[in-house]
Every structure is written in structure tokens, then in C-alpha cells.
Structure 1
Amino acid sequence: MGVTDQWGLVHRVSADNDNVTMNRSVVYALAAAVLFGASTPFAKLLVGEVPPILLGGLLYLGSGVGLSITRLIRDSAWNPPGLLPSEWPWLIGSIVFGGILAPVLLMLGLSHASGSAASLLLNLEAVFTALIAWIVFREHADRRVILGMLAIVAGGIVLSWPSGDLSSANWLGPVAITVACLCWAIDNNLTRKVSAADSLFIAASKGLFAGMANCMIALSLGVTAPHADILLTTLSIGFVGYGISLTLFVLALRGLGAARTGAYFSTAPFIGSVVALALLNEVTSPAFWIASGLMGLGVLLHISERHLHEHTHTAIEHNHRHVHDQHHQHAHDFKWDSSEPHMHMHLHAHITHKHPHFPDIHHRHDH
């Protein structure tokens, strides 16, 4: 099956290929949640060794340094990230909101709120991410997606619901944590705008700038650096739990959009709890199993989503790694050895067709 565009090129439309691409994006999102969630218990073991604000900075710094080295090894040289001039403000904004403001606000909140209250409030990130995506950026969501989001968030609330009295916490802590969640939600949606570019560069940039900023803040407050072995361990956890996780998160944004990616990623606290059970010998509670069921239901609702209708792609020019599928049937103005995937600036022609899709970088159309 195929459709012909204004250049006379036939676009192959394969439902199987679309499903593979969408399923791969779901795997990216869940893998990002697994790595980030699993890193939390390991980071918790370091809290007594490294002050919280410096710990956050070192985790981000490990992410940025590790990904930068990985990118240099991958490319055997420094290559441009593929960002258009109009996309740089989106990346800078995401770094400011998600890499600098949010961690500082979180540390401020943690110093004025109980850990249980903080865990409960952190579930707001997924809610804010979805609301901004749906209201501001007009990302499509049907009833199944909304119900799945509600189930996942409800699971997070049950998982982190405090057993004690919250009245002792003053207003500054909860407000700071809530604003931190809002900053991360803004970050997620701004990152969505540049998710077509090199994911390693995006994630490395966030890690480097956020890590340096938070470490400088910590050192200016008189915090001393940890011993070499603790420093290396912290940087390594940051590289895996923050860096690789963020890279996968960007890839998921590319294929799923902000709201769906945020929903999948909000399962990270549950995954962290599972790891904590094995690592820290913690015991389960009825709330854990209720949360497991709710989050499982939410993920199932999202995975079973099927969005299919005739839609129109307006002409657009951008740069990202791609293969010549139904959305990439273009000629090359340079010598090409037929290797795929490859990356170069390319033009998408105006085209109308019908196939299953998510609000990825090629399907941000109105409904």
C-alpha cells in the first residue's frame, strides 16, 4: 500500500512498521523509568556521604561528562548536534527550567518538608507535563490515554502516601517542591520541541550545565567534595541513572510526545521501590501492591492505544536520524552509500495518508 506525494514519489505505508516504531518508543520510555527509578535507592545510600545539593550536582555532572565522552567515541570526532537556529532557545529553556531551577527548588523543598510528603508531591510532575502538553502545545489525547494517566498517577499517590501527620511541615517545602515539578514539566515539553536532534547531545548538555551550576552552588555554600571513591561512584550512578535514562527519555519524546512519555516515566518511583526491596531489604505493604495494580493498568491502557485516522502532513524541513520509511522518501543532494539510518537536513513534502500513529515529531497535527 502506498500514496504518492507532490514529487511523484511513492510512500510505503506499513502498519507493521508503524507498530514497531511506536512499541520501540514505549520501550525507551519504560527503560528510562527503570534506570532512573533504580538509581534512586543507590543514590540514597550516598546521602550520608555527600550533602544533598552536591549529590544532585554530581549526579547531573556524571551524566553530562559520561554522555559527552560517549558521543565523542560514537562519532570519532565532534559533530554538530543538528539543531536549527530556532531550536536553540527551546534547549536553553529546558536546561534552565529542568537542570538548574528544578533541582535547587527540590533541595529547598526537601529541607522544609518530610520525605513522605515530598514523594507524594513529586507525582505532580506527570500531571503538569500532561496538562502543558494538552493545553499549551495541543498534543492529542483520547479517553484511554487520560484514564491511563490517571491510573498511573493514582498508583504513585498510593505508593508514596504518607502514614504520618503532614501538619508539621510548613508551607515553604510543599510549595517549593510543587514549583520544582512544574519546572520539570516545562522542561519535558520544551525538550519535546528539540527531540528530533541528537539525543546524546541534548542529554549531555543538560547534564553538564545542570551539574556545573548545582556543584558551584554547593561549593559556594561551603560544602566540601567527597573522597575519590565516593566521587567516582556518584558520577557513575549519574551517568547510568540520569544520563542514559535522559537519552532514552528524549528518544521516547521523539516517538510518543510529552504527555505519554511523562506517564510512562512516572512509573519510576514504583521501579525504585522494587529495587529498594531487594537492595535495602525493605518490606512490602498493601499500598505497594495496590500501586502496582494501578500503574500496571495505566501502562496497559497506554500500550493498547490505537490512534488511526486520515491526517495531513504540512511541508517541514528538519534534521534527525532516519530511515527511508513512509515519511522519508526524499532525494539526496549529496553522494549517499545507501546506509541507514543516517542524518541530514531533509524536506517532508505535503502529504495526506492514514496509518496508526502517536504525536511524534512527524504527527503534531490538529484533530
Structure 2
Amino acid sequence: MSRYPKVLAPGVLPAILSAILFGASTPLAKLALGNGVSPWLLASLLYLGSGIGLAIVHTARKTLGSGPAEASLLRSDLPWLALVILCGGAIAPVLLMAGLVTTPASTASLLLNLEGLATLAIAWLVFRENVDRRLLIGAAAILGGAVLLSWRGGPAGGGLGTLAIAGACLAWGIDNNLTHKLSGADPVQIAMLKGLAAGAVNLLLAFTLGASLPALPVIAGAGLIGFFSYGVSLVLFVLALRHLGTARSGAYFSTAPFIGALLAIVLFDEPVTMQLVAAGILMAIGLWLHLTESHGHGHAHEALEHEHRHVHDVHHRHDHPPGIVSGEPHSHRHRHLPMIHKHTHYPDLHHRHPHPH
């Protein structure tokens, strides 16, 4: 009977690394850029740095014939990709910037934690992804730590600004769930297209509002931060979605504010507060509950035909037509025959079956 390693399930490390890179973006941007750059223009530079950097990587891989064997996006994927770009690259940033105009920073920081909750809720309630009590408690602990970490007191805010920021989090939650549908394709290609599209949209909006380009070192610094904290982070997040599903990947990614706070302590000599310690304890409990999860039961695989990067494990016992490279891992279109078996698994590409509630 095939089982995933109990020490670290596939997708966990990419999810945590994704959160580390994204969590580092805020303190690094503050260190490298300082003040005076329009938030909308900064967002566009970060996204464009992500898209352009990954475009260079994507072109170099194709030119040199190197890199992992990944499936390219198909024509049938384009509607999903368009929705991902629309929700996560256009609607969410516009709503966030509109909300920040009238919403206090303390309230905005708290509201942004709704993205993790929206991601999990949509995965569970709309896409019927399996979420058991252990996962819910772990996600609640991680989210509680993020809320505690973000709390700064001060005015509560409200009105349309609050609704706009909550709407941005909902749009990002939809984005994360739709990206799951594309996770079998090349993550570099997905993140590249999203970065270029989102960067162009935000740059146009910034110029419309009267922003002007900063000095070249600022542009280069923002681009470099965007490449790692937005681009590489998204590539890793797509890999996590491929192996763990949306709810679990989103829960791991919710640790990003804590990682950013730790980095801020190192870079800016900020104090270690009881608030930070308590948030760290809550997140550690949530991570432990997720890392020690073991979900296994008898389940049926229906016939399925698709393409993605794979090795010949228990789910991939197929012959190759002429011309297919037999080295592993590799990517080609292949067919899965119906199968019934039992093993520990997660909502990956081959385990998106319904569960009784």
C-alpha cells in the first residue's frame, strides 16, 4: 500500500518557503525603497519584477532545453487563467487600494487576514475539498496568530473602505482556488503570465492617478523583491496547491505575516513583544496540527486523462507511445484507469474526490 512520508508530506516545504518569501516582501520593500513611492506604483513594480524575471527564466529554460519537465498551459486552461488574473491581479488590488484610502492601517492589517479564511471557506464550501476538524482547528490557530500579530489597537474604522478590503480578500481567496485548477501545468508559466498582466494593470492605474516612475535603483530594487517575493513565491505556492490542495496550502501561507514580523525584528531592531510570542505559539500549534495530519480511507479513482509532471508511482502505471522520453520525472498526456484502493493522501491532482459531511 502506497503512503506519503510521515515526516514531511509533498507540498509542505514549497508552501512554507512560499510563505517565507512573501512574508519577507513587506520589510524588504521598506528597507530597499523607503517612503515616497505610490502604493499602486509599488504594487505594479513588484508584479512586473515577478513577471519579467520569470519570463527570463522561462525563455532560458526553453532556449537551453533545461529545467523540469512540466506541462504547458492548454487552450482549455485559458478561461481559468483569465479569471485568476482578473480576480487576483486586477479586482483585488483595486479594491485594496480603494479601501486603504479611508481605512486606518491597523484595521486594514487585520482585514487582510481574511484572505486565508476566504481561501479555506471557498475550498471547503464551494469546491467541496475535504476539511476535517483537525485541519479547521489548525487553520483557526494560524489565522488567530495572524490576527493577533496584526492587531495594533486604534480606531476600528468601517464603512465602504472596510467592505472594499474584505472584497479584496474574497477576490484573492477566489484566485487561490481557481489557481488550484491550473496547478498541474508549469508553475513558472502561470506565475509569469499573472505577474505581467497584474503589473501592467496596476501600472496603468498608477499612471492614471498621477504617479511617476522613481529613480532606477528603486525600480531595480522593487523588481528584485517582486521576482522572489511574488514570482518565486507564487511558483512554490502552485506546487503546494498541486500536492496539498487549496485549504492546506492557504493555511500554511497564512504564516507569512509572522515571518515578515520576525524579519522586521532583524532588519529594524524592533522589539520582541508578548503579542509576537503569543502569535508565534498559536501558529506553531496550527502548523503542528497540519504537519501531523494523516488522512487515509478507501476511495475510488474514476477514469481520467490529463498531463502533468509525474513519476511512475502507484497512480501512474501506463505505457508510453513512441517518442515519449522514458526518464523520470517527465510530462506527457496519459490516462488513468479506474482504481479502488486505500492509502494516506491529500487533495492533490488525483485525489479530488467527494467526502461525506
Distance in 2 (CA, whole Å) between partners of 1:118 and 1:273 is 16
Deviation, structure 1 residue 257? 0.6
8 Å CA contact 1:267–1:295 kept in 2: the answer is: yes
Q: Aligned runs of 1:164-203 on 2, under 5 Å? A: 164-166=154-156, 169-203=157-191
Instruction: Find the counterpart in structure 2 of residue 250 from structure 1.
Output: 238
Deviation, structure 1 residue 205? 0.8
Instruction: Find the counterpart in structure 2 of residue 92 from structure 1.
Output: 82
Distance in 2 (CA, whole Å) between partners of 1:80 and 1:33 is 23
8 Å CA contact 1:255–1:358 kept in 2: the answer is: yes
8 Å CA contact 2:77–2:182 kept in 1: the answer is: yes
Q: Secondary structure at the match of 1:165?
A: coil
Does residue 1:285 correspond to 2:243, yes or no? no
Distance in 1 (CA, whole Å) between partners of 2:126 and 2:142 is 22
Q: Aligned runs of 1:1-367 on 2, under 5 Å? A: 13-15=1-3, 18-19=4-5, 23-45=9-31, 46=33, 48-76=35-63, 82-166=72-156, 169-367=157-355
Deviation, structure 1 residue 337? 4.2
8 Å CA contact 1:60–1:238 kept in 2: the answer is: yes
The one-letter amino acid paired with 1:292 is G
The one-letter amino acid paired with 2:304 is I
Distance in 2 (CA, whole Å) between partners of 1:83 and 1:348 is 20
8 Å CA contact 1:19–1:356 kept in 2: the answer is: no
- Does 328-337 or 206-215 show the bigger shift? 328-337
The one-letter amino acid paired with 1:85 is R
8 Å CA contact 2:144–2:282 kept in 1: the answer is: yes
Deviation, structure 1 residue 146? 0.6
8 Å CA contact 2:107–2:155 kept in 1: the answer is: no
Gaps of 5+ in 2: none
TM-score, normalized by length of structure 2? 0.94
8 Å CA contact 2:320–2:326 kept in 1: the answer is: no
Deviation, structure 1 residue 87? 2.3
Deviation, structure 1 residue 75? 2.5
Distance in 2 (CA, whole Å) between partners of 1:134 and 1:293 is 26
TM-score, normalized by length of structure 1? 0.92
Q: Deviations over 1:294-346 (max 9, x none)?
A: 00000100011000111111111111111111111111112344311111111
Distance in 1 (CA, whole Å) between partners of 2:300 and 2:306 is 17
Q: Secondary structure at the match of 1:99?
A: helix
Q: Secondary structure at the match of 2:5?
A: helix
Distance in 1 (CA, whole Å) between partners of 2:14 and 2:321 is 32
Q: 1:150 to 1:80 in 2, by over 3 A?
A: closer
Q: Secondary structure at the match of 2:263?
A: helix
Distance in 1 (CA, whole Å) between partners of 2:241 and 2:125 is 17
The one-letter amino acid paired with 2:347 is P
Q: Deviations over 1:59-111 (max 9, x none)?
A: 00100111111111122279995234332211110110001111121111122
Instruction: Find the counterpart in structure 2 of residue 10 from structure 1.
Output: none
Q: Percent of pairs identical after alignment?
A: 51
8 Å CA contact 1:22–1:256 kept in 2: the answer is: no
8 Å CA contact 1:22–1:357 kept in 2: the answer is: no
Q: Secondary structure at the match of 1:284?
A: coil
The one-letter amino acid paired with 1:262 is G
- Does 20-29 or 337-346 show the bigger shift? 20-29
Q: 1:170 to 1:336 in 2, by over 3 A?
A: closer
Q: Secondary structure at the match of 1:338?
A: coil
Distance in 1 (CA, whole Å) between partners of 2:89 and 2:271 is 33
Measured on the aligned residues, the alpha-carbon RMSD in Å equals 1.7
Distance in 2 (CA, whole Å) between partners of 1:22 and 1:187 is 26
Equivalent residues, number: 351
8 Å CA contact 2:70–2:309 kept in 1: the answer is: no
8 Å CA contact 1:47–1:55 kept in 2: the answer is: no
